[in-house]
Amino acid sequence: MGNRSIVVDPRRAEMKDILNSRIKRREPFRPFAPTILLEATGEYFEKDYPDPFMVKVYPIRPEKREIIPAVTHVDGTGRLQTVSEEENPLYYRLIKAFERITGVPVVLNTSFNENEPIVCNPDEALSCFLRTRMDVLVMGPFVLERESRKIA
């Protein structure tokens, strides 16, 4: 997980609507998932053990819900994915860098697709980027940015 993903700032509640209107085009009630550094899990969730597969839902600590509203479901839970440096070093470093900038060791992670099967190769990734309103596409060492990166 995290290798063919759309990754977004979870601190902005409006990101759910932005993702749905600009990229995912899915029902607004469907939640997005938090990916967190393994060692920070207990700080944000009421459970403190590895769960790298994004298949279970756990309560987010009440004092953290306002910090990560884009991944907090209406019932105060999140479909958790933990990331360790050993399991996925590149994705771990991305989240660690986000934490250094924001103080939050969590990102919103959703599949890299536009209401279709997840992208499987660079051609599909580029096609999805070009037909949606994503701001940035990163593929290995390559970074593509739109000229205008206005949100919404």
Q: Per-residue pLDDT tens for 109-133?
A: 998 999 889 999 999 999 999 999 9
pLDDT of residue 1: 59
Q: The domain at 5-113 falls in which architecture?
A: Alpha-Beta Complex (3.90)
Cα 48 to Cα 40: distance, rounded to the nearest angstrom: 8
pLDDT of residue 11: 98
38 vs 148, residue with greater confidence: 38
* Residue 86 in tokens: 């050993």
Note the pLDDT tens digit of each residue in 50-109.
999 888 999 999 999 999 999 999 999 999 999 999 999 999 999 999 999 999 999 999
